[in-house]
Copies of this chain bind each other. A is one copy, B any other.
Amino acid sequence: MSEVLLKGKAAKTASFMMVGISTEEKNEALGKIADQLLVDQEYILEENQKDLEAGRKNGLSESVLDRIMLNEKRILDMAEAIRLLIDLKDPIGETLETIHKDNGLLIRQNRVPLGVIGMIYEARPNVTIDAATLTLKTGNAVILRGSSSARFSNEALVQSIHKALEISKVPVDAVQLIEDTSRETAKELFHLKEYLDVLIPRGGKNLIDTVVREATVPVLETGAGNCHVFIDESADYQMAESIVINGKTQRPSVCNAIETILIEEKWFAQHGKDLIDTLNDHGVEIYGDSVVSSVFGTAKLATEEDWYTEYLALSVSIKVVKSVEEAINHINKYGTNHSEAIITASEDRANKFLNKVDAAAVYHNASTRFTDGSEFGYGAEIGISTQKLHARGPMGLNALTSSKFFVYGTGQIR
């Protein structure tokens, strides 16, 4: 039996055992994991060094190496995040609906764990801890399949988790790491319907597209963010500038950063120069439509491809539009259904935009950067869903649960 099949089977068995584990027992296990990470810190950092050395040898970029890199501060942050997770309400067991039937049947719809969750992810070893602890809190078992570039770090982290679980009520098999990081094990996971209830890919567009295309296991798509801000003719200049600069420059590498600015033509005639100068001052490279690029020498001409592009860098596309309708159509064509903002003093146009733009989160007069589990007050986030089924937008603990109907009778038949 292959590693994936063996561990899949063990995880399924563990997930059935998890049904009997109480909130207190889960929280106790989480506390032990936090402790163990600190105890094992030295070993984890040694193993992380091996990944970094291999990465340098393989010519990984500094930004990728930074994502792989662990240090004392980052391990402390992991432990802190686990302590915050312990304080969050356990969603399992919550009654979502109670139905009393005339025939005396009592029907209760309760929240239950999903079962076994498969995580396929890239680089960042902190996803290993996030995924293992969020799934544990929600009574699930998890199969982790990280990338080869972080394999030593991931193995060390899961070793610490296992040490902690051994002295807890949670079965050790509830957290499984696939050590073989070849493409074959990912492919096996795509089709492990017998043991996996859901697959969550975290990483770049290529990884996510591959999982969505190939997997027969249901997928929770955590997606790309080609986010737009539309500046309406009635927009206050200061507000527009501050939202654009925040959305584009505060953290350009994240999915809720702004990638395209759509500007109403009258506003552009009046304020375009000021906004573009400010963007230039912040080191933002501009890809403009024919109007923008012909008027401003610092702007390159945007290609069709640019409107689709999530730069994840200090670059932005700018298009001048005639109306809120044109802005809505542009976003619904080129966007990725993540986060979209309108800046306007008009309630009417704001409502039209918010209702007609198809995205997980739509903003009136605020930065798209707020689309985030902790900003929304969820305390923990497994990713941001850009699909419409099951969960949309920032996914907290509830997104890792399913429901089940409990029906209590006294012999009722139909």
Contacts and interface: CB of A to CB of B under 8 A. Distances in A.
Given A105-B366, A216-B212, A411-B243, A404 B375 contact: no
Contacts of A198: 388-389
B409 A363 contact: yes
A250 B414 contact: yes
Nearest to A343: B411
A9 to B, nearest CB: 12
A301 interface: no
B369 A246 contact: no
Contact of A243 (B238, B242, B360, B413): B413
Interface residues of A, number: 65
Given A389-B198, A414-B250, A405 B362 contact: yes
Nearest to A364: B408
A413 B369 contact: yes
A214 to B, nearest CB: 8
Contacts of A371: 405
Among A360, A407, A410, which residue has the most Cβ atoms of chain B within 10 A? A407
A283 B105 CA distance: 29
Contacts of A410: 365-366
A355 interface: yes
A393 B370 contact: no
A367 B414 contact: yes
B213 A360 contact: no
Given A355-B20, A370-B105, A365 B408 contact: yes
B355 A19 contact: yes
B370 A407 contact: yes
A377 to B, nearest CB: 6
A366 B409 contact: yes
A387 B246 contact: no
B213 A216 contact: yes
Contact of A408 (B101, B115, B366, B411): B366
A361 interface: yes
A254 to B, nearest CB: 10
Contact of A411 (B109, B239, B355, B407): B239
A172 B371 CA distance: 36
A28 interface: no
Interface in A356-414: 356, 358-367, 369-371, 375-377, 387-390, 392-393, 402-414
Contacts of A390: 389-390
Nearest to A410: B365
Contacts of A360: 404-405
A149 B243 CA distance: 57
Given A387-B218, A392-B404, A375 B411 contact: no
Interface of A: 16, 19-20, 99, 101, 105, 107, 109, 114-115, 197-198, 212-213, 216, 218-220, 236, 238-239, 242-243, 246-247, 250, 332, 354-356, 358-367, 369-371, 375-377, 387-390, 392-393, 402-414
5 contacts: A16-B332, A101-B375, A366-B412, A370-B412, A392-B403
